[in-house]
A and B are shown apart, each in its own frame.
Chain A
Amino acid sequence: MAENSAAGTILNIEGLNVSYPVYETDPVRALRGIDLKVREGEIIGLVGESGSGKTTLARSIMQLISRPGRVDSGRIEYDGRDLATLGEEELRALRGNDIAMVIPNPRTELNPLVTVGMQIANVARYHLSLPRKEAKKMAMAMLEAVQIPDPTRRFKAYPHELSGGMAQRVVMAIALICSPRFIISDDATSGLDVTVQTQVLELLQDLVQQQGASMLFITRDIGITAHYCHQVAIIYAGEIVELASTQNFFDNPQHPYSVMLLSAFSHNPKLRGLWTKVVDAALEGAAESGCYFAARCVRASDKCRAEHPDMREMTDAHSVRCHHPVER
């Protein structure tokens, strides 16, 4: 996919640090110095293992980090506005109209007692201040847009009467009805079956393109990013370690962690052996100075254990945080 480099920046995150205090020990530093720019019309994939901070980043953008979690430093600018300076009222308007989040487990998102059509319509009434009749019409159009089969009948259905794929589409319809300019999808397709997942991904991609929106696509499945994202960001232990255009990333992955991830997907023990270091789980995360990945890295040197690497731009549209990036 070609990227749109002329477009303006819609989201700009600088030096974001977020932590969760833990009783009687050091706080969990969930995000450590995140810098990330998303341009208009761009889909950026965020990939990392469980606990790497992906959901924390999504919730930070939504200004929904709940106590005891806290933003220690950094700023998030959306469309030129510093989100931290907005009041609760402004934030609520922004969350409904401009920024939308799609999450997994669609059923927990939906009210079991209200028909899905009315749930979508209520969002339009509240956020777009539409009269009841207009809102219902719009909800119907949205059900069609997300390609729910037999939308007239489904409008009157309750959530439990829908399959998982259909419920996920309803949640998408709710997220997209106000034509958001920025969509965050947090692992939203992982619970779906692959044939349904493809349909939902195509749909998201089309909607993003038609509405000129941008998307932060969070996933543990690096395969999806290869086919649906313009850029790929790899997050490890709360920091971005590699950021590149999708083509550059897959042609020439440079961070040893990225390469280790790819080798795990290759199902080739020889390749994995080259890039994976067997470590004791208990020792992981111990490093607070130096590179956080050093203990698991096959290329780690004394420098890596002593000195924390900065993000370096290697070539155009390709940055890596590593003292010894992989060269080919």
Chain B
Amino acid sequence: MSVVLSVQNLVQHFPIAGSRSVVQAVNNVSFTVARGETLSLVGESGSGKTTVGRCILGLIDPTGGDISFHGEKIGKKHNVRSRGLRGKIQLVFQEPAESLDPRIRIGVTIGEPLRSLGEKREDRNKRVREIARRVGLSEDALYQYPAELSAGQQQRVGIARAIITDPELIVLDEPTSALDPTARAEIIDLLIRLQKELNTAYLFISHDLSTVRYLSHRVAVMYLGMIVEQGSAQDIFSRPRHPYSIGLLSSVLLPNPNLERRSEVSLQGEIPSPIDLPEGCYLASRCPFVEAECNARMPDADDIGGGHLVHCFKHRNVIDEEKATLDYFERFQEEAEKLLISGH
């Protein structure tokens, strides 16, 4: 598989006005995304997901580390606004309404990225109609204003605007969290279909773990600016190794009262401040497996095969404790299928 995006040891610190301390938003993050692949970044609010996305899009200049696109470094000189790269990396936002200009007709908004690429008007209009059809927007919608569309339709516009330049990578920052369940499911289907047709790579940022389970090939779990565990979606969801991943996954409440993932690993307490991160493992203050070593230094990545990386000294003990290696999301889907097919 050809690697589209490679991020190595990315660090992003934000200065705090009037203070010498910094917000350590991203701490030594490494991952790759291949052609046609979806890598999901999951993790709690403030864990640095959006900041990683913004670094890739060149919206901020990273404090450290390398980002390369097809092996070529992205930086101050060579970035998404440079000639060869323009339109190759696109972004879809969380709040569709906020990302669309209320005074501009939908069709114009969708064609906007082509205009900055200098395409002629007729070509642009033809392409806009073609893309609109692709994402399921009617021809009429092109002459409407954002406020006249439902939230789901607005997000289709956001996606249309992103794919119109034939990008190789799309960063999707919580594209469905503002939507009601039905609209959300439709957008997810659309994203999956488009990826199959266009072979685009997705960096999918989300809190919604059932959606992540459903559409990702690989998953990276972030905690306080670092990726604590990454691997195939199958591995992460059925055999999570890092105590934080286990805590995160067992917190998901699936709509089935009989499926409760009672985990031995319960995370207590509050998250440390990203301004004042501990010397050792960032989870140490909340982790039931903590021992002296964990407070002394941050564990390196341990490769347990198949691209499954875990940053934890104790992950072998964790797996002993966490006997339930069941993928609850899969069981939920099986049960849902039985229930919802009957009666139709």
Q: Which residues of A contact B (CB under 8 A)?
A: 1, 49-50, 149, 163-166, 193-199, 220-228, 246-247, 250-251, 253, 259-269, 271-272, 274-276, 281, 326-328
Known: A49-B180, A166-B270, A194-B251. A266 touches B340 (CB 8 A): yes
B260 to chain A: closest residue by CB? A227
**Chain B residues whose CB sits within 8 angstroms of the CB of A326 once the complex forms:** 343-344
Report B222-277 residues with CB < 8 Å from chain A CB.
247-248, 251-258, 260, 267-271
Residue pair B333, A264 in contact (C-beta under 8 Å): no
A272 to chain B: closest residue by CB? B185
List 19 A–B pairs whose Cβ atoms lie within 8 Å, in order of A's numbering: A49-B180, A193-B207, A194-B44, A194-B251, A195-B251, A196-B44, A197-B251, A198-B251, A198-B253, A222-B255, A226-B254, A259-B340, A260-B182, A265-B254, A267-B333, A268-B337, A271-B336, A271-B337, A281-B153
Consensus secondary structure, chain A interface:
helix
Residue pair A227, B340 in contact (C-beta under 8 Å): no
**Chain B residues whose CB sits within 8 angstroms of the CB of A50 once the complex forms:** 180
8 more contacts with CB within 8 A, not counting A198-B253, A225-B255, A276-B182, are: A49-B182, A193-B207, A195-B251, A247-B257, A261-B182, A268-B337, A269-B185, A328-B339
Contact of B270 among A165, A221, A251, A259 (CB under 8 A): A165
Residue count of chain B within 8 Å CB distance of chain A: 45
Residue pair B269, A226 in contact (C-beta under 8 Å): no
Q: Which residues of B contact A (CB under 8 A)?
A: 44-45, 149-150, 152-153, 180-182, 184-185, 188-189, 207, 209-211, 213-214, 247-248, 251-258, 260, 267-271, 332-333, 336-337, 339-344
Nearest chain A CB to B270's CB is how many angstroms away? 5
Nearest chain B CB to A283's CB is how many angstroms away? 12
Residue pair B252, A223 in contact (C-beta under 8 Å): yes
Please, how many angstroms separate the alpha-carbon atoms of A265 and B255 in the complex? 8
Please, how many angstroms separate the alpha-carbon atoms of A194 and B251 in the complex? 6
Residue pair A49, B256 in contact (C-beta under 8 Å): no
**Chain A residues whose CB sits within 8 angstroms of the CB of B207 once the complex forms:** 193-194
**Chain A residues whose CB sits within 8 angstroms of the CB of B188 once the complex forms:** 267
Residue pair B260, A274 in contact (C-beta under 8 Å): no
A299 to chain B: closest residue by CB? B344
Contact of B336 among A149, A247, A251, A268 (CB under 8 A): A268
Nearest chain B CB to A196's CB is how many angstroms away? 7
**Chain B residues whose CB sits within 8 angstroms of the CB of A251 once the complex forms:** 339
Residue pair B252, A194 in contact (C-beta under 8 Å): yes
Residue pair B337, A194 in contact (C-beta under 8 Å): no
Known: A194-B209, A195-B267, A271-B336. A224 touches B253 (CB 8 A): yes
**Chain A residues whose CB sits within 8 angstroms of the CB of B342 once the complex forms:** 328
**Chain B residues whose CB sits within 8 angstroms of the CB of A227 once the complex forms:** 253, 257, 260
Nearest chain B CB to A223's CB is how many angstroms away? 4
Residue pair A269, B150 in contact (C-beta under 8 Å): no
**Chain B residues whose CB sits within 8 angstroms of the CB of A250 once the complex forms:** 255-258
Known: A227-B253, A265-B210, A281-B153. A195 touches B344 (CB 8 A): no
Residue pair A195, B247 in contact (C-beta under 8 Å): yes
Residue pair A266, B336 in contact (C-beta under 8 Å): yes
Nearest chain A CB to B272's CB is how many angstroms away? 10
Residue pair B45, A267 in contact (C-beta under 8 Å): no
A228 to chain B: closest residue by CB? B253
Please, how many angstroms separate the alpha-carbon atoms of A327 and B339 in the complex? 11
**Chain B residues whose CB sits within 8 angstroms of the CB of A327 once the complex forms:** 343
Please, how many angstroms separate the alpha-carbon atoms of A209 and B340 in the complex? 33
Residue pair A275, B340 in contact (C-beta under 8 Å): yes
**Chain A residues whose CB sits within 8 angstroms of the CB of B248 once the complex forms:** 194-195
**Chain B residues whose CB sits within 8 angstroms of the CB of A268 once the complex forms:** 333, 336-337, 340
Residue pair A193, B45 in contact (C-beta under 8 Å): yes
Please, how many angstroms separate the alpha-carbon atoms of A135 and B337 in the complex? 54
Please, how many angstroms separate the alpha-carbon atoms of A164 and B47 in the complex? 13
Please, how many angstroms separate the alpha-carbon atoms of A250 and B268 in the complex? 30
Nearest chain A CB to B253's CB is how many angstroms away? 4
Nearest chain B CB to A274's CB is how many angstroms away? 5
Residue pair B341, A220 in contact (C-beta under 8 Å): no
Please, how many angstroms separate the alpha-carbon atoms of A1 and B260 in the complex? 13
Known: A194-B248, A226-B253. A266 touches B270 (CB 8 A): no
Known: A194-B44, A194-B209, A267-B214. A149 touches B255 (CB 8 A): no
B47 to chain A: closest residue by CB? A193
**Chain B residues whose CB sits within 8 angstroms of the CB of A269 once the complex forms:** 185, 189
Contact of B256 among A1, A164, A199, A226 (CB under 8 A): A226
**Chain A residues whose CB sits within 8 angstroms of the CB of B333 once the complex forms:** 266-268
**Chain A residues whose CB sits within 8 angstroms of the CB of B271 once the complex forms:** 163, 165
Nearest chain B CB to A49's CB is how many angstroms away? 4
**Chain A residues whose CB sits within 8 angstroms of the CB of B211 once the complex forms:** 267
